Structure 1
């Protein structure tokens, strides 16, 4: 005996609902959309007709909860064992076209993953090609092996010395591109010695498309989603407008050498000599405009963050080392935690503005209805009451990155998700970057 269940979806997601993730449970469909619709419209969806069957949706819900379910036709299941095979030899142009038509690329040309190139990539780790990097989960329906990641790393243009970082990213089990209708994006932050060993850019232009390590590590994560079927329009990809950030997912390193504060991975419990990758997820990023000359950096960051929905109270500030030095020495914030607390206490908005945001309405309002604080108390306030939406300083992350050419920072609504060890995937100790060239654009790679 199972638990009676009525599975609902809007008709726009019919293909995704019946594509394997929903199992063999029949779905009841309503009109679309839900986000932005008023309560009366949503109630009309339930009392109205199912666009697929023509029956009243509420009647179908009652039937699903009170009568034996009618299992729908055979559905697709994720394979526990991936089938490996070689493509038929062809011209490079034809193979590039094939990869694109199969949905294995991001629309840009890839490095074709020949046997020799993949074997070279595998030398970047001590792990076996058949070792499991990520198990199937609701967001990643296939089991991913070291070999799978090596193929994708080659396609992205990565070098073998970058491979442990890419494996650590995949090992988090997170997807680069979420299946949300909203334009979710992701950010990769690398800490520890491997930043310099791989030549990652944490200085001038760290977010710019100039560094092979930053670019290809982030791109490999996106391509893995394409190859494993995680980025399929109207299948698993539903973002109405998308996000250009997804090309390489804001892949950066923290500038630990120039920072006046503790590195991010140490804040999360790792040792300074550990090499660690951390994953963040959000929607929006805004850039400081020099207002800190007239206000404190905490005030300036708070002004930028007040433009976001603050639905989960999370935020990340990526600050240039020169600005961090001012924050510590002139504004008196001795630690990142002190700076986060100042931002938390400074950022404000009215209760009315907070609750009249779609993200807050459908993601945070249910918490208020369940009595979760501080949301339950905020819901009872008059509309003009002032609240502090970033109420938890521990959810405000501070990353020090930049080349000290200006005391700037970026504020974003990206939330910290998880961190993963890179060292477990290493092939051996790499040489430290001792010639000062780390972070500079690399010479073109000769792949043949």
Structure 2
């Protein structure tokens, strides 16, 4: 860090309290929403959806809610390696339609994305469809109107899509992520526009909250890089052990990114309350649930073609009993309770290997 007030690269200045700040910049833009949409899209600022003009008055509401100076740097966003300040987040959050009250959550999420082993550079430039998703615990779930019951992956009205979109706009507009150019993503996914932001239904979970299990109590966000969501459906299982088999086998599809890389990937399972109750009745603790899911999330090596068996063997992916597990150990299976009471479905979210989940308070 530079001494108080000394200039450091890219025009940044360090404040006396050690907080790095960036001088503000301004551009003139139309205030009319239709004109602003065309103007911003022509400059590559948009994602194809309508944008709210970030007037100084609107942006000021966001920076006030942040509780930190507008020029405070949150993180350096690759691949452009540009500094994202509180104000830059505020501008993008305003355009996305998020509420100012969500600023602490979004700031914590972005700062978590800057930490290792959450590899933001790999996430922003890979051929994979990976996107950072936000999973929230604590009273803020209701205060911010985040979905965690029916339709929580998408479809439930609430603040989740706008918050996720704000994070995505930061990655585009600050980080310079451009599909087919700086990002080599082959197919993408809808969450590359609106993200995935949801809570855990803590009150209906038989286990401690996800963030608490990860060492953070109260209001907390877990940032997880996923290549997409998959539905796991079953109408036959009538006990937790058979259900764990269905979920585990479904997770271990051989085309997932975890099977084409070295150890290091995680996998997340979101189970609705009825299925969570079935699993809890069969397994005494959440660790036992993770163990059961992990043991079922693998395939015998002879199921793979010879080329793939060689690939797995070279990466030490085949266990002594001849099983190739999707992840290295039970703790790499992240389990959370959310969703409607309609039963019959769970959600799988497969991880992009170089990134691992990070949990932070806010």
Same fold by TM-score greater than 0.5: yes
Aligned to 2:287: 337
Map 1:170-319 to 2 at 5 A.
170-174=110-114, 175=120, 178-271=124-217, 274-293=218-237, 296-308=242-254, 309=256, 310-311=258-259, 312=263, 313-319=265-271
Structure showing greater radius of gyration is 1
Gapped regions of structure 2 (runs ≥ 5): 1-8, 13-21, 115-119
Determine the C-alpha separation between the residues in 2 that align with 1:88 and 1:285: 37
TM-aligned CA deviation for residue 156 of structure 1:
0.9
Gapped regions of structure 1 (runs ≥ 5): 1-76, 369-373, 423-448
Name the stretch that deviates more: 312-321 or 347-356: 347-356
TM-aligned CA deviation for residue 281 of structure 1:
1.4
Map 1:395-410 to 2 at 5 A.
395-410=332-347
Q: 1:99–1:182: structure 2 CA closer, same or farther, 3 Å change rule?
A: same
Determine the C-alpha separation between the residues in 2 that align with 1:394 and 1:78: 41
Determine the C-alpha separation between the residues in 2 that align with 1:318 and 1:79: 44
149, 152, 159: which one aligns with 2:99: 159
Aligned to 1:98: 39
TM-aligned CA deviation for residue 326 of structure 1:
1.4
Stretches (4+) displaced over 6 A: 355-358
TM-aligned CA deviation for residue 90 of structure 1:
6.0
TM-aligned CA deviation for residue 293 of structure 1:
2.2
CA contact 1:128–1:146 (8 Å) conserved in 2: yes
TM-score, length basis structure 1: 0.66
Kindly report the root-mean-square deviation, in angstroms, between the aligned alpha carbons of the 2 structures: 2.8
* 1:266 counterpart SS class: helix
More strand by share: 2
TM-aligned CA deviation for residue 356 of structure 1:
6.9
Determine the C-alpha separation between the residues in 1 that align with 2:215 and 2:49: 38
CA contact 2:150–2:156 (8 Å) conserved in 1: no
Determine the C-alpha separation between the residues in 2 that align with 1:278 and 1:223: 19
TM-aligned CA deviation for residue 340 of structure 1:
0.6
Determine the C-alpha separation between the residues in 1 that align with 2:230 and 2:178: 29
Q: 1:91–1:161: structure 2 CA closer, same or farther, 3 Å change rule?
A: closer
CA contact 1:209–1:215 (8 Å) conserved in 2: no
CA contact 2:101–2:144 (8 Å) conserved in 1: yes
TM-aligned CA deviation for residue 282 of structure 1:
2.7
* 1:293 counterpart SS class: coil
CA contact 2:235–2:344 (8 Å) conserved in 1: no
TM-aligned CA deviation for residue 408 of structure 1:
2.3
Cα deviations across residues 262-300 of structure 1 (Å, max 9, x unaligned)?
1100111112xx211111113243212224526722101
Determine the C-alpha separation between the residues in 1 that align with 2:11 and 2:273: 47
TM-aligned CA deviation for residue 146 of structure 1:
0.8
Determine the C-alpha separation between the residues in 1 that align with 2:47 and 2:24: 22
Determine the C-alpha separation between the residues in 1 that align with 2:31 and 2:331: 54
CA contact 1:277–1:419 (8 Å) conserved in 2: yes
Cα deviations across residues 304-332 of structure 1 (Å, max 9, x unaligned)?
01214333452111000121011112xx2
Q: 1:249–1:260: structure 2 CA closer, same or farther, 3 Å change rule?
A: same
Determine the C-alpha separation between the residues in 1 that align with 2:26 and 2:328: 52
CA contact 2:33–2:51 (8 Å) conserved in 1: no
| Residues 1:126 and 2:70 aligned together | no
CA contact 1:320–1:409 (8 Å) conserved in 2: yes
| Residues 1:325 and 2:269 aligned together | no
